[in-house]
Structure 1
Amino acid sequence: MKQLPKEFYAAMEELQAVDFVLVDLTLYLDTHPEDYDAINQFNQFAKERRRLKKVVESMYGPLQQFGNSYSGYPWNWDDGPWPWQI
């Protein structure tokens, strides 16, 4: 298995924490769609997620398929790690 630096795992943990907040806020907003503060918080975390994703991908390669992440040249989807290897 490809060995990655410890910084990769720290960055992924930060990204996963932001994802958790976004899922939680999504569930909350499904039942409180007019909570202005929660919507602002969701948008702030969505912006932070895009920033973190860009940082991680620039250092370690694409995270998502189906056009959600760009590929480097040559095609670098096999550079891993795969999700179950994290």
Structure 2
Amino acid sequence: MSQKQLPQEFYQLMEELQAVDFVLVELTLYLDTHPDDTAAIQQFNDMAYYRHQLVPQIEQYYGPLQQFGNSYSGYPWNWNQSPWPWQI
């Protein structure tokens, strides 16, 4: 299978998604030990909301990102259209 050529915007959006995911993981770890920190909870919720806005934007142009029913497939089945994680 040949590697799909993607525009620079795809890589910028993926980098942004990776940064958001990193923040969410770190805040989850922090909140596990500081469950009453309202500022951290607000930041977590803000980042979770932002992630829910960002993922559909990426998927609209470049295909599904998450399996197990977390992302819809286009027609025809388009999971094999997007680059594999090691290709980006």
Q: Does the TM-score normalized on the shorter chain lie above 0.5?
A: yes
2: CA distance, partners of 1:24 / 1:40? 14
SS in structure 2 at match of 1:79:
coil
- TM (normalized to structure 2)? 0.95
2: CA distance, partners of 1:24 / 1:4? 30
Moved over 3 A (4+): none
Superposed, 1:64-79 pairs within 5 Å as 64-79=66-81
AA in 2 matched with 1:58 = Q
Q: 1:25-53 CA deviation, whole Å, 9 max, x = no partner? A: 00100100111110010000000001000
- Counterpart in the other structure of 2:36: 34
- Identity value in percent: 72
SS in structure 1 at match of 2:80:
helix
- Counterpart in the other structure of 1:54: 56
How far residue 78 of structure 1 moved from its aligned partner, in angstroms, is 0.2
AA in 2 matched with 1:45 = M
Superposed CA RMSD: 0.6
Normalized per residue, which structure has more helix? 1
SS in structure 2 at match of 1:22:
helix
AA in 1 matched with 2:77 = W
How far residue 84 of structure 1 moved from its aligned partner, in angstroms, is 1.1
AA in 2 matched with 1:48 = Y
SS in structure 1 at match of 2:10:
helix
AA in 2 matched with 1:4 = L
- TM (normalized to structure 1)? 0.97
How far residue 58 of structure 1 moved from its aligned partner, in angstroms, is 0.6
